[in-house]
Amino acid sequence: MKPCSILTIGNFDGVHLGHRHIIEHLIQFASSSAYREQFFEKHQELIPYYRLDMQTNPVSCLLTFKPHPASVLGNKFYIPLMTYEKRLGVLNAFPLHNVEELPFTKEFAAKTSEEFCEFLAGQYNIAMLFIGHDFKIGRDRAGKEKLAELGKQYGFAVYAHAPVLLENKEIISSTKIREALLSADIKKANAMLGYAYHLSGTVQHGFNRGGKLLGFPTANLLEDTLIVPKNGVYATKVKILDPRFTENMQSPEFFGMTNIGYNPTFNNDCRSIETFIFDFDADIYDCEIEISFYDFLRNEKKFNSAEELIRQLTEDKQNIQTILTANR
């Protein structure tokens, strides 16, 4: 039989501060008998259903779904905050015993919450399930109350973490992070994530206006498969990920000015993600870069001339320099 495990499960999209709180709590619980004793002093109602003695360290296990349930269940409106590969890499960086990918199929989605708990008990020999306050599973969408009852039936305790809040008492969630990005509230999104939101991709050829016409050459990314913030101008930082450049760079990160939108001054018919990289002059076409967002500067605007646009871009650069210097 597999060793007893304590387990958490979810999509962990963005691996935000709420996710990290649960994962870090799980790790501490698994590695410290003193921590377990303190935990059960506060939650004595769970003691009868936790079948390990306090001195035995359980195996810490995290389950995440592949592919994302939204893609299987046909939610066309769901756009992730992080690629699956990036998310798995971040999760594997935590000192957990196991990070496992759980294949999410239509057959799996058809399981009831009781069938799901039976699966966990049989497959993972689970002693404790840690979940978020709003976690739901099974085709009956069972939440913490029903899961706690099912846990008693299948021999494990269930602990639902309280929501993690910002200083203004707002609950941190992936949904609220998406909403913040789509409304250009970058500071709020980053506060919930615990890091600067970023997009990455390969630099493409653009319209060849930035350098030749405006004096602001830009690195252009294709429309990303992740959430792209609202159209406008942003203070960003840029990492060049190609080893041909990183080996000889004094700094791995540059200040940047990123415009997302349709360039109304030139009436583009497709949205672009263009970044002017400060103090950088090299051909990085076909190189991968990562753009991290720190603040929203202004909305897109149609200018009457290229000269007027150049004046605004010069002012934007100065403002961004001030913003990012304060964020060093």
What CA–CA distance (Å, rounded) separates 250 from 247? 9
Which is the catalytic residue, given 41, 107, 167, 274? 274
**Does 307 participate in catalysis according to the annotation?**
no
The amino acid present at 259, given as its one-letter code, is N
Q: Please, are residues 52 and 23 in contact by the beta-carbon 8 Å criterion?
A: no
What CA–CA distance (Å, rounded) separates 107 from 165? 35
Q: Please, are residues 239 and 265 in contact by the beta-carbon 8 Å criterion?
A: no
What CA–CA distance (Å, rounded) separates 200 from 177? 18
Q: For 57, left (φ over 0), alpha (ψ -120 to 50), or beta?
A: beta
Sign of CA dihedral 141, 144, 145, 149: positive
Nearest in space to 27 (alpha carbons), one of 62, 64, 55, 53: 62
Name the one residue in this structure whose structure tokens are 């409304």. Answer: 183
Q: Please, are residues 30 and 66 in contact by the beta-carbon 8 Å criterion?
A: no
H or E, element range at 120: helix 113-124
The amino acid present at 81, given as its one-letter code, is L
223 DSSP 8-state letter: P
186-193 and 174-182 helices, crossing angle to 10°: 160
45 DSSP 8-state letter: G
- The tokens for 71 are 């893609």
Rounded to 5 degrees, what are φ and ψ at 162?
Answer: -65, 150
What CA–CA distance (Å, rounded) separates 199 from 296? 15
Catalytic positions, written as ranges? 274
